Amino acid sequence: MAILRICHFPDDPVLRQNAKRVSAIDSSIQRLIDDMIKTMQEANGVGLAAPQVGVPLRVIVIQMPGGQPMAIINPEIVERTGEQEVTEGCLSVPGYIGEIKRSAQVIVKGRDRQGKRIKIKADGLMAEALEHETDHLNGVLYIDHVESRDKLHQVERPIVPECEHR
Ligand code: NI
Domains identified in the chain and CATH numbers: 13-154 (3.90.45.10)
CA pair distance 58, 70, nearest whole angstrom: 14
CA pair distance 71, 73, nearest whole angstrom: 7
pLDDT of res. 166: 37
Cα-Cα-Cα-Cα dihedral of 17, 91, 57, 139, to 10°? -20
pLDDT tens profile 80-124 = 999 999 999 999 998 899 999 999 999 999 999 999 999 999 999
pLDDT of res. 26: 97
Mean pLDDT across the chain: 93
Q: Which residues are catalytic?
A: 133
Residue 162 Cα to ligand 1 middle (Å): 5
Name the pairing type of β-strands 105-111 and 117-123: antiparallel
Which residue type occupies 4? L
Residue 95 Cα to ligand 1 middle (Å): 13
Q: What is the pTM of this model?
A: 0.94
Q: Is residue 40 a contact partner of residue 47, using CB atoms and an 8 Å limit?
A: yes
Mean pLDDT of 20-24: 98
Task: Using the predicted structure, report yes or no on whether residue 52 has a pLDDT greater than 60.
Answer: yes
CA pair distance 125, 149, nearest whole angstrom: 24
Task: Using the predicted structure, report yes or no on whether residue 165 has a pLDDT greater than 60.
Answer: no
